């Protein structure tokens, strides 16, 4: 997969960005990279969408903030929105898997004008988030064995890395998770945009959450357009059952409006960064 290095406010993102049209931004979890969505690119692009999959902060070639607070869902959601600014994306469907799912939920709650709809896998939301100013429930520590590779070679915000991409998402996950008990913003808030949820019925995360989690999710997502548990599938459902996931995702994105920018507006935003 071809990748780009994007500089945003001094922070380095490694992304795969293909196609034109309404944007679908895909956020991976642990362990993973943007490469985790390799099976979703061709169907999205062929259907007329712009598909974007970054290595998330702390993973792969993307930068590794030193402070744990920079890995909270709020911090990552805000950083993701700044990336969308540089890419000229006003609104997108945000797909999230594993740790990427709470980022998608949080971005939809915190920046509802930027998220046309979250499409999440593995991790539900059902309002267990308190309205406080920090979230340290999930923090990540960079692994020294997976130092970033590739760096910008010009002053342009977007350049291509000189070194090849890892062959698989498992080759360099980039972070180790640490779970903490902490404060969470937005408890009780409702996701007010169309939402899709897909998971494997053998996903251990779904098992740990319990069947009531899916029902509670419905209370906090009024426009929940589908809850799909794919029989026999495990945690990495977008890879295990790519065809079914792609069909569900395309059906979802085709049914909602995703605002897009004109070519002239896109050029102005990109040239002004």
User: CA 171, CA 255: separation in Å to the nearest integer?
Assistant: 36
The predicted structure's pLDDT at residue 185: 59
pTM of the complete model:
0.78
pLDDT in tens, 136-172: 333 333 333 333 322 333 343 444 444 444 333 333 3
Tokens of residue 73, six digits: 């869902």
User: CA 182, CA 124: separation in Å to the nearest integer?
Assistant: 18
pLDDT in tens, 28-50: 999 899 999 999 999 999 999 99
Structural domains in the chain, CATH included, are: 4-271 (3.40.50.1820)
Q: Is residue 117 within 8 Å of 91, Cβ to Cβ?
A: no
The predicted structure's pLDDT at residue 184: 54
pLDDT in tens, 68-79: 999 999 999 999
User: CA 29, CA 56: separation in Å to the nearest integer?
Assistant: 8
Average pLDDT of the segment spanning 181-203: 80
User: CA 102, CA 197: separation in Å to the nearest integer?
Assistant: 12
Task: Answer whether residue 129 shows pLDDT above 80.
Answer: no
């Amino acid at each position: 997969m071809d990748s780009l290095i994007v500089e945003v406010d001094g922070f380095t993102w490694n992304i795969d960005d293909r196609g034109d049209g309404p944007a679908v931004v895909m956020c991976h979890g642990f362990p993973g990279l943007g490469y985790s969505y390799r099976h979703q690119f061709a169907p999205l692009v062929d259907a007329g969408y712009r598909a974007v999959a970054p290595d998330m902060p702390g993973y792969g070639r993307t930068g590794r903030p030193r402070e744990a607070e920079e890995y909270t869902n709020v911090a990552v959601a805000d950083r993701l929105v700044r990336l969308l600014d540089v890419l000229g994306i006003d609104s997108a469907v945000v797909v999230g898997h594993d740790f990427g799912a709470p980022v998608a939920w949080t971005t939809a709650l915190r920046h509802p004008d930027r998220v046309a709809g979250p499409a999440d896998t593995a991790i539900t939301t059902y309002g267990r988030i308190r309205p406080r100013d920090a979230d340290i429930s999930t923090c990540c520590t960079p692994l020294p064995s997976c130092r970033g590779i590739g760096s910008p070679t010009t002053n342009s915000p977007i350049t291509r890395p000189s070194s090849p991409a890892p062959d698989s998402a498992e080759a360099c996950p980039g972070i180790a998770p640490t779970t903490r008990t902490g404060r969470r913003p937005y408890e009780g808030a409702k996701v007010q945009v169309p939402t899709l949820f897909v998971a494997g019925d053998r996903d251990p995360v779904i098992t740990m959450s319990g069947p009531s989690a899916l029902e509670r999710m419905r209370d906090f997502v009024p426009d929940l357009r589908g809850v799909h548990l794919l029989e026999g599938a495990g945690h990495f459902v977008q890879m295990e059952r790519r065809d079914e996931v792609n069909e569900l995702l395309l059906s979802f994105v085709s049914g909602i409006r995703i605002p897009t920018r004109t070519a002239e507006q896109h050029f102005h935003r990109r040239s002004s960064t």
